[in-house]
Amino acid sequence: MIRRFYNYILDENEKIRNRMFTLTSVIILTCFVLAIILSLILRRYEYVLGEIVTVLILSGIIYTGNKAGKLPLASAITCLIVVTVVMPFAYYVSGGATGGIITVYVLVTLYVCLSLEGWIRPVVVAAELICGGVCFYMEYTHPQWFPEQDTIIRFIAMYLVTMLVSTFIVFLVNFQIAMLKKENERSREQRDEIERLNAAQNRFFSSMSHEIRTPINTIIGLNEMILRENASDEINENAANIQAASNLLLHIINDILDMSKFESGQMQLTQSAYHTGDMLSEIVGMLWLRAKEKDLEFHVNVAPDLPEMLIGDEVRIKQILINVLNNAIKYTSEGSVSLSIQCEKKSNGNADVIYSVADTGMGIKKESIPYLFTAFKRVDEDKNKYIEGTGLGLSIVKQFVDLMGGKISVNSVYTKGSTFNIVIPQQIASDSNIGELDMERRHSLNRHENYHQSFEAPEAKVLVVDDTAANLLVVGKLLRDTKVQVTTASSGEDALKETLKEEFHVIFMDHMMPGMDGIECSHAIREQAGGRCKDARIIALTANAGGESAALYEKEGFDGYLTKPITGEALENELRHQLPRELVVMTGSDEEFLEESLSWSSEHTKKAIVTVTTESVADIPKDICERYGIAVLPHMVKTDGGLFRDGLEIDQSGLLLYMENSDVRVETVAPEVEEHEVFFAEQLGRANNVIHLAISSGVAHSGCPAAMKAALAFDNVYIVDSGHLSSGQGLMTILAADMAESGRSVEEILATMEELKDKVHTSFIVDNLDYLARAGQLNSRIAGATKSLMMHPVLTLRKGKMGIGKVFFGNRMSAWEHYIDSILKNADKIDRSILFVTYAGIPQSELEWIRKEITKRADFTKIYFQKASPAVAANCGPGSFGLLYVEK
């Protein structure tokens, strides 16, 4: 039995907490057995029966719980019995606090903490503290209830209990430390095993990369030879389809391999200069066919100020755009997919390149957006189950963007479409820009153009080393029209034989070969006694792309490398750069680098970095909205006749006339969340970021809460609670739009708007409060009282909430004059560049009187007389106006 107990305690398959509970329970029971022996020695027979019963009950609970597999329940019951029954009994038996029981409490507390977990642990500890406190209190108030102990017996008991408890605590602590060491050792072994598995996985992926790319290299290379031939349109179309499918298959393989590198922390970037036009042409040429197959329009909008050359990881940037565009095409059944590219140039020779991919597809649900960049996770699985894909694309995109120090965001309205915005910082490598790309440069996909080699070098000698015969065949055929002299070798040993016989200018060397691999062979060639190719240019052919490959080949003395599958263009370009100039005769022209199948936009389609929007209640003149491109979301006016769009389906004059001729209730209704979402999605089609100035959230029927809720569906929509309405809100919108036009960042604009909230002043003097009462915002009795007393209240916005400020008595013109005086008496504190006079139901003659009264008191550069929107007029009523301005 002792052997079984020992094996159980050391059994690593059992939970540590269960083992600790069993061990500590045995210790506690041992203490009780020793207590029974001590009671018998001291002839205190009246306590022996209780102690025996306690041991039997606790042993039964522990045994039953262990047998039934319910040790957590057994431990909870045991601990509760110990702290609520056993310890008070022991406290009494030992003669109170001076009998050594205090030390036992320490052991019991340790027992509870080691045996229990979760919410039950603090409950039991609290019960122990309460029961212990009651025992102390009872002894203090009624000491006669507790048996007196002889001094010698009390000291012996205290010593024995202290020594026993200390021994058990040391034993438990040592056992706990031993268990932790064992667990740490197991964790270390598991970590080592995981590292070994990761290393094996990396070797597997490296091998798989080589094995899969080899046949793809053959397919793409030989297919390119078909495209070079002057074949029929049907053959050319089939070959183009094979080429596009092969390239997409290649990118799927790259995604799988890259995910493995990210997980192992081995992903690196390779920064180099690249031509932006060439990269975009290759991307679009690859994906155009897929869009065409689904009958989708494919638009590419490139800002003319995009630098012609940038420094970045071209391969990875290309991979990012291909994944996002491919995703957009997959999830769009009709409509269009567009790629827009802009550039924000910095002062230090750097630039933020902004890639925007928009589609008219099914969109993404709000609840799915947080999982969008999770590997192997596909959102809306039921609806998308027939769409092919690995679920890796966007996850890899996010990791690459983060690695480059960039940012990716998504804006989407479900069933309407999505827009992905990617910002990648890069260095500018050329002062020249890509410029205007003529729409006439479009080429039809089905139109076949004859291949022309870019150069000829009949005197050049090239050695190609590869263990796969198909690869040797492909390279030989791709270089055929350049007229170079190609020799092939199927192993490192054969290559060394060839380099003894012939002097080659360039050697293309496969990396992974059986026997002598490419690196060993290249070293042998450099050191070969009697070899004729010690100074030859050696180019590695590899299936492994990425920064680690570039670093490896540079370290091993290679002059360059090409990633399989190898295209004819890449092979020719590399060979042309490596051959001595005197051997190369150029035959091509710069026209061969023009983009195929590409629709380039003119500058007027360029997306803005920031656009500013607002609502119809902002009361901004139409010409200012047009000048700054301020989009306006209309509020609604609700009458007995239905809902009408503010300023579009109902105007101020018609509404006031309608209200004067009837007593019906007229209300303003803010746009719903869904309306805001559609509005924001439209604006993101013309800008990368949207700043929306909303009416104060503190006024009735505000659209601000709905706007904020709608913005949660987008990453690039920023809502500003203006704290104002009417032209006060409009003033802030105009200033924000002016900052956006001058190139200020989103952060700068938002910070300025926060400062402006306290500087903008919004107030209106109204003839009476009848219209507010009819809109349900005021008691009709109060409105009637103010009217009968010829009161002209001033409605003022303070801290975002509308209230009554000053009140002027008398006739209308007198009240107006006092109102203008109160506003302009401290004109020196007002920014006099702009003043808004926003009015409702005031004839032109009275407006001219207001202008004269203003100019008597202060000079303003620009005074705008703006008719209030129907939504504002419905609350203020005719004969109302306000002076709205900004403090200095």
The pair of structure tokens assigned to 297 is 């329009």
The pair of structure tokens assigned to 838 is 């926003």
CATH number for the domain spanning 708: value is 3.40.50.10170
245: closest CA among 212, 223, 269, 271?
223
Together in a domain, 770 and 836: yes
Kindly report, residue by residue over 330-365, the tens digit of the pLDDT. 889 899 999 999 998 887 889 999 999 999 988 888
Estimate the share of the chain in helix, then strand, then coil, as percent rounded to the nearest 5: 55, 20, 30
Whether the CB-CB separation of 844 and 826 falls below 8 Å is answered with: no
Whether the CB-CB separation of 287 and 326 falls below 8 Å is answered with: yes
What's the pLDDT score for residue 632?
Answer: 93
Together in a domain, 463 and 407: no
- The yes-or-no verdict on residue 861 having pLDDT over 80 is yes
What's the pLDDT score for residue 389?
Answer: 43
Kindly state whether residue 713 falls inside one of the protein's structural domains: yes
Together in a domain, 404 and 471: no
- The yes-or-no verdict on residue 44 having pLDDT over 60 is yes
The pair of structure tokens assigned to 863 is 């005074």
Together in a domain, 393 and 459: no
Kindly state whether residue 197 falls inside one of the protein's structural domains: no
End of a domain among 541, 559, 593?
593
Q: How far is residue 43's CA from residue 33's CA, in Å, rounded to a whole number? A: 15
The residues facing 540 across adjacent strands are 509, 561
CATH number for the domain spanning 312: value is 3.30.565.10
Residue 187 burial class via C-beta count within 10 angstroms: exposed 0-12, middle 13-18, buried 19 and up: exposed
Please give the residue range of the domain that contains residue 816.
763-886
Kindly report, residue by residue over 214-250, the tens digit of the pLDDT. 677 777 777 777 766 766 766 776 777 677 677 767 7
What's the pLDDT score for residue 193?
Answer: 85
Together in a domain, 397 and 461: no
- The number of angstroms, rounded, from the C-alpha of 829 to the middle of its chain's C-alpha atoms is 45
Q: Give the pLDDT band of residue 740 (cuts 50, 70, 90).
A: very high
Task: With H, G, I as helix, E, B as strand and everything else as coil, classify residue 723.
Answer: coil
Q: How far is residue 233's CA from residue 218's CA, in Å, rounded to a whole number? A: 23
Residue 226 burial class via C-beta count within 10 angstroms: exposed 0-12, middle 13-18, buried 19 and up: middle
Whether the CB-CB separation of 8 and 14 falls below 8 Å is answered with: yes
Whether the CB-CB separation of 423 and 352 falls below 8 Å is answered with: yes
Task: With H, G, I as helix, E, B as strand and everything else as coil, classify residue 665.
Answer: coil
Q: How far is residue 841's CA from residue 814's CA, in Å, rounded to a whole number? A: 18
How many domains does one find in the chain?
5
End of a domain among 699, 723, 752?
752
End of a domain among 721, 752, 783?
752
Kindly state whether residue 504 falls inside one of the protein's structural domains: yes
CATH number for the domain spanning 878: value is 3.30.1180.10
Kindly report, residue by residue over 449-459, the tens digit of the pLDDT. 455 678 899 99
Together in a domain, 293 and 430: yes
358: closest CA among 690, 686, 712, 740?
686
Kindly state whether residue 572 falls inside one of the protein's structural domains: yes
What's the pLDDT score for residue 720?
Answer: 96
Together in a domain, 522 and 612: no
Q: How far is residue 163's CA from residue 168's CA, in Å, rounded to a whole number? A: 9
The residues facing 359 across adjacent strands are 337, 418
Higher-pLDDT residue of 207, 145? 145
Together in a domain, 773 and 841: yes
> Could you tell me the pTM of the whole model?
0.54
Together in a domain, 368 and 485: no
Kindly report, residue by residue over 161-203, the tens digit of the pLDDT. 677 777 777 777 777 787 778 778 888 888 888 878 777 766 6
Higher-pLDDT residue of 494, 555? 494
Kindly state whether residue 154 falls inside one of the protein's structural domains: no
Together in a domain, 614 and 575: no
Kindly state whether residue 585 falls inside one of the protein's structural domains: yes
Whether the CB-CB separation of 596 and 285 falls below 8 Å is answered with: yes
* Cβ-based neighbours of 3, under 8 Å, separated by 6 or more: none
Q: Give the pLDDT band of residue 657 (cuts 50, 70, 90).
A: low
Kindly state whether residue 777 falls inside one of the protein's structural domains: yes
Together in a domain, 617 and 737: yes
Is the alpha carbon torsion for 864, 865, 868, 873 positive or negative? positive
Together in a domain, 777 and 877: yes
Kindly report, residue by residue over 315-328, the tens digit of the pLDDT. 889 989 988 998 89
CATH number for the domain spanning 584: value is 3.40.50.2300
Higher-pLDDT residue of 39, 725? 725
What's the pLDDT score for residue 100?
Answer: 64
Query: What is the average per-residue pLDDT within 364-377?
Result: 71
Whether the CB-CB separation of 719 and 694 falls below 8 Å is answered with: yes
DSSP track, 759-776: TEE-EEE-S-SHHHHHTT
Kindly state whether residue 236 falls inside one of the protein's structural domains: no
What's the pLDDT score for residue 465?
Answer: 96
